[in-house]
Structure 1
Amino acid sequence: MELLDSRMDFQCCKIALICGDKVLTILRDDKDDIPCPNMWELPGGGREEDETPFGCVAREVYEELNIQLSKDDVIWSWIYPSMLDENKKSVFLVGKLTQEQFESIIFGDEGQSYKLVSIEEFLTSDRVVPQLQERVRDYVEKDK
């Protein structure tokens, strides 16, 4: 996937890590000065310097969960408008997560907690960041 190594201009990269029929979610901090406080979201975050999309998401996933991602884990990618500035790009990835990786998570200092939830629950909950629901839905429906 050439998108993973692209030097295009993008603002952030998020990843839906799928383990069986579940997706890994992180509960955002409950702070008034951040977007979507106390909502469930996906790992990932803002680009630093001239990172590639994979470099950005691999760094963020390591910082947030202490998981070492490999490019082979990534199974789908797409470009969307950024959630913070629709004139900028955001990269969305879907990757595989093993049960062993989930059990070895060391949670970082961003967010309140993490859990695996069914994809169905992620798509229907009113406590999930809506744009991320849309992106996961695009992935789920891509084969239909």
Structure 2
Amino acid sequence: MDNEEAAFHGAKLVLTQGGRLLTYLRDDRPGLPFPDHWDLPGGGREGGESPLRCALRELHEEFGLCLPPSRLTGRAFASRQFPGWRSWLFAGTLTAADVAGIRFGDEGREWRMMPLADFVSHPRAIPQFRDLVAELTASPPRSAPRAAAHPP
């Protein structure tokens, strides 16, 4: 495991299809960071899993989707939740069949394929992810890092 992976705590996914972004509305309960806000698929690292394995596990748990690693590119970014740590952001494209196959899990209130412009301007989108999506859609990644090239 390289230094980028060693100090990371979670991964998020920017998954688009036809100009829309896979999002979900977080639960609205006390103690939950950003309750009742629109979020991206993903979450916290479990054990020693790689960034890619973390992202794919969370995607499966939250939406019932199993994407091949070759469909994702990723990069590390500074965590706002845990200063000094890194998080990972993976991007990919969903097919119409992927969207039709979504089976929403038990976290969150609802899911939506939200227009990208709506997410980046939504007052209840989690601010750091709204900013990351705006950056990513303005200049998509050129190549996958080493971590994204390895299967989970």
The answer to whether the superposition gives a TM-score over 0.5 is yes
Q: Deviations over 1:79-113 (max 9, x none)?
A: 11223112111011111111111111111111111
2:132: which partner in 1? 135
SS of corresponding position for 1:11: strand
2:31 is equivalent to residue 37 of structure 1: no
Q: Across the two proteins, how many residue pairs are aligned to each other?
A: 138
2:120: which partner in 1? 123
CA RMSD of aligned residues (A): 1.4
1:114: which partner in 2? 111
Q: 1:64 aligns with which of 47, 57, 62?
A: 62
Question: In the alignment, is the contact (CA less than 8 A) between 1:7 and 1:50 conserved in 2?
Answer: no
Matches of 2:11 and 2:5, distance apart in 1: 13
Matches of 1:96 and 1:141, distance apart in 2: 16
1:105: which partner in 2? 102
1:14: which partner in 2? 12
Matches of 2:5 and 2:27, distance apart in 1: 30
Q: 2:48 aligns with which of 36, 50, 58?
A: 50
Moved over 3 A (4+): none
TM-score by length of 2: 0.86
Percent of aligned pairs with the same amino acid: 32
Instruction: For structure 1, list consecutive stretches of 5 or more residues without a partner in the other structure.
Output: none
Q: Which amino acid aligns with 1:46?
A: G
